[in-house]
Amino acid sequence: MPDSFQHWRSAPDSQHRDILAAIRQLDAADDAQLRWLLGFLGGLVCGNARHMPGGPDRIGPGGFEAWFAALDRTLHQPSDPLLRQVALQHRAMSDGAGTLQSRLRDRAITPAEFDRFADAVVHYHGSLRALERALIHEACMADPLTGVWNRSSLTDRLGAERDRMQRHGGPCSLSMMDLDHFKDVNDRHGHAAGDHVLRTVVDVAKRHLRRYDSIFRYGGEEFLFCMPNISAPEARIAMDRIRADIAALRLALPEGEAISITASFGVAEMDTHHSIEASIERADRALLAAKNGGRNQVVV
């Protein structure tokens, strides 16, 4: 798990698109830096400062600052350490380029000065790639339809919560949610309608959860909620609010028809003495009891 971007705990699908856009911006910056570097080194080799390209600060139509500000806005997280590292390494590279350019006029570039510049170039390139790897990881860990975490991310993230419980104590509740008769929606109205239902239900759930709660798409129409520092009775109340809001929905379809949907929930507290899988299984058994008991209800 990268050290960066863990703040996106339940990013909506628009933020998932922002991550992909930021990756494209990083690729473009890397290409621009390579083109500038080749021109700059060509000027050094030929000893011609007048025909060297502008410094790396002038990469792109608006320069590095404009590019970085655009990336900042895309990611919504200006304080992220990987973003700060990109800016710091770019400043070091820019300063090194300026030193070499000024020394070129006197034909007095030393090996140590060139080595410092080369190191700055390598570190800047590395900071771009580190940021890109973190973003790719996040993109792979999110469900592209709903924007919540996918099942691949579940073990790491629940494992981190279990470690927190062991260090500091306090409960953590899990809830498994399954949409009732969801197959009928797909069969009668098509998969586009089913996707609309899933996104809407997730939006309803997010309105009742705290920013540090997590939602995972467990599979199909099943979702798992992780709620730190909440006991099972408290989690039941929260899930019942979500259940009631879902049941009250009238979802408009493109052809003008409106449909209703209900959901069943199973709640269990995470147990630090047993595996994560065992705790999920307990929530799943509670969900099965809710469905066997008539659906559209919460069972602890």
Phi first, then psi, for residue 298 (nearest 5°) are -115, 130
Q: How far apart are CA 137 and CA 186, in angstroms?
A: 31
CB atoms within 10 A of CB 275: 11
Question: Are residues 31 and 230 in contact, defined by beta-carbon separation less than 8 angstroms?
Answer: no
Quickly list DSSP for 125-185. Answer: HHHHHHHHHHHHHHHHHB-TTT-SEEGGGHHHHHHHHHHHHHHH---EEEEEEEETTHHHH
CA–CA distances in Å: residue 165 to residues 18, 54, 161, 225, 275: 33, 54, 6, 16, 13
Contacts of 274 (CB under 8 A, 6+ apart): none
User: Catalytic residue positions?
Assistant: 221
Phi-psi label, residue 178: left if phi above 0, alpha if psi -120 to 50, beta otherwise: beta
CB atoms within 10 A of CB 258: 9
